[in-house]
Amino acid sequence: MSDPRSEAAKRRTFAIISHPDAGKTTLTEKFLLYGGALGKEAGAVKAKSGGRAATSDWMDLEQQRGISITSAALQFEYRDCIVNLLDTPGHRDFSEDTYRVLAAADAAVMVLDAAKGIEPQTLKLFEVCREREIPFLTFINKWDRPGLGPLELLDQIEETLIVEPTPVTWPVGIPGDFRGVIHQQTGEYTRFERTARGSTMAPEEIVSAEQAAIDDGEWWDTAQEEAELLREVGRVVDQKSFLACESTPVFFGSALTNFGIRFLLDGVVDLVPSPAPRVLADGGRRGIDEPFSGLVFKVQAGMDKAHRDRIAFIRVCSGVFERGMMVTAGESGRQFSSKYAQTLFGQDRDTVDTAYPGDILGFVNANDLRIGEAVYSDSPCEFPALPAFAPEFFMRARVLDTSKFKQFRKGIAQLDEEGAVQVLRDEDLGDQAPILAAVGQLQFEVATHRLENEFGAAIELTNTPYTIARKTDAESMPALRAMQGVDVLTRANGIHLALFESRYWMDRVLADHPDLTLERMVAEGGLG
């Protein structure tokens, strides 16, 4: 067993965020290729179309829809570091899930499609990043294809995200004829070569300025001038402003052809902060070398038909985890054995014997664990609550066959605990016809699919008039419930939500009754 401090110093724990199709799955696969986790050939993490059975695509529905809903945690070694990569759902409808995953990450890599730049859908994920104060690197992908100019992309990042882009690499060639990159710190020009289907690492050659001028002519001149100009105006990586989320180091590349992947991985190792003492609910910090503690950031069931179980994902925050140790769950003080702790590599599971700060554990069938909860050995701790996410869609759910009510009840309780959808009950009506509240419509599809297939309780969903919610409390409840166009419902965790038919109506209630509690939640107002 090693010392947690030196092991933590080796860890880089980050998540990739992107809009669908920007290349997150491909990039994940290439990270694993460069990290040596796939042997010499890419192809283990695959995607959806063309029969690709993704390591990170577990659910049937994901495969049918060709989207990534669940999150995988992958670990590999690169240089002298251990990299923990957290996959996040690409679709904005699952940004609440992304938010929870980011609670377990120390940084993010934002992937942009060079032809599209920042798409409206990306903004929400980015806002989530900003809300959590997660520093992020930007990877401009698909440079092998025609797209926007590099300076134009930098402008977009700056204007839309209000973050200063600081290029680490600068592309030589035009989108569509990508030759290589200039490394801004060393000034070196690295030229890449394609390999068949990008299945092996792209051969690299450092080219002298004289040779580049001969081979790449005008493209070299332009790239060099731009790169120099950017250095002159101070557009260079600055660790302090990166950590403060005021700047983002930018990399150009192509995940498909492996161009620029090594530089990006080097950037992850050099720039992403290693795990630091974790802030506690009481404002103190849990030191890296204190006894084992971890944060439950995700609970997921139905990941794999072969193992119909439920996994709680835990990020180790302090100390050393050893399999078999007795672990206590923060809220309830319940103890459980960690005999079945696992690491997860897509569908493959391995038992884990030891884990250090920054690592991700999967606790199988630790059914009582709740998202946001702390687990620990020896000395208790509590992390700040994960803030509630503002739902934007509200549908009433009823079980179609009333003889399946028990299954329905069990199913919605579980979906609520996992955070797959928020289940809001009227205290007088109980579970008869709860309202399912979601950040995006696709969450309803997942809930319906899972209730039917996993729990045997087919449901019908009907529209409700509600469009916006605020957190309220027991004192404000009677007054709000007496009003027209407002309802107050309660989640299983005791949180009361006031639902309004329109923002206009909510603003009026707020103006007329300043005494009532109506708290904003994260990402209210449909950012993006």
Written as one string, the DSSP assignment of 98-160 is HHHHHTT-SEEEEEEETTTBS-HHHHHHHHHHHHTT--EEEEEE-TTSS---HHHHHHHHHHH
Decide: is 47 part of the binding site for ligand G4P (CB under 6 A): yes
Query: Which member of 8, 22, 386, 436 binds ligand G4P (CB under 6 A)?
Result: 22
Q: Which is nearer to ligand G4P, 178 or 292 (CB)?
A: 178
Cβ atoms of 160 and 153 within 8 Å: the answer is no
Joined together, the tokens standing for residue 510 give 């707020």
Kindly state the smallest distance separating residue 74's Cβ from ligand G4P, in Å.
14
Cβ atoms of 438 and 392 within 8 Å: the answer is yes
H helix or E strand, kind and range, residue 413: helix 405-418
Binding pattern for the stretch 71-90 against ligand G4P, x by CB under 6 A and - elsewhere: -------------------x
| Distance, CA of 315 to CA of 297 (rounded, Å) | 7
Joined together, the tokens standing for residue 4 give 């947690």
The residues with which 316 forms a beta bridge, in sequence order, are 294
Single out the segment in contact with ligand G4P by CB under 6 A; choices: 100-108, 251-259, 266-274, 428-436: 251-259
Number of residues lying near ligand G4P (CB under 6 A): 21
Torsion of the alpha carbons at 210, 216, 222 and 227, rounded to the nearest 10: -60
Kindly state the smallest distance separating residue 23's Cβ from ligand G4P, in Å.
3
Decide: is 258 part of the binding site for ligand G4P (CB under 6 A): no
- Residue 465 class from Cβ within 10 Å (0-12 exposed, 13-18 middle, 19+ buried)? exposed
Single out the segment in contact with ligand G4P by CB under 6 A; choices: 139-147, 167-175, 226-234, 396-404: 139-147
Binding pattern for the stretch 145-164 against ligand G4P, x by CB under 6 A and - elsewhere: x-------------------
Decide: is 130 part of the binding site for ligand G4P (CB under 6 A): no
Query: Which member of 63, 88, 121, 254 binds ligand G4P (CB under 6 A)?
Result: 254
Kindly state the smallest distance separating residue 122's Cβ from ligand G4P, in Å.
11
Decide: is 230 part of the binding site for ligand G4P (CB under 6 A): no
| Binding to ligand G4P in span 191-220, by CB under 6 A | none
Strands, DSSP E only, in 302-438?
Answer: 310-318, 321-322, 326-329, 335-337, 341-345, 348-351, 354-355, 360-364, 374-376, 393-399, 422-426, 430-438
Decide: is 346 part of the binding site for ligand G4P (CB under 6 A): no
| Binding to ligand G4P in span 52-71, by CB under 6 A | 52, 68
Kindly state the smallest distance separating residue 20's Cβ from ligand G4P, in Å.
4
H helix or E strand, kind and range, residue 468: strand 468-472
Single out the segment in contact with ligand G4P by CB under 6 A; choices: 21-29, 150-158, 397-405, 457-465: 21-29
Give the N- to C-terminal CA distance of the chain in Å, as an integer: 46
| Distance, CA of 246 to CA of 243 (rounded, Å) | 8
Decide: is 138 part of the binding site for ligand G4P (CB under 6 A): no
Decide: is 20 part of the binding site for ligand G4P (CB under 6 A): yes
| Distance, CA of 222 to CA of 219 (rounded, Å) | 5
Decide: is 274 part of the binding site for ligand G4P (CB under 6 A): no
Cβ atoms of 173 and 229 within 8 Å: the answer is no
Q: Which is nearer to ligand G4P, 66 or 387 (CB)?
A: 66
Decide: is 352 part of the binding site for ligand G4P (CB under 6 A): no
| Binding site residues, ligand G4P, CB under 6 A | 18, 20-26, 47, 49-50, 52, 68, 90, 141-142, 144-145, 254-256
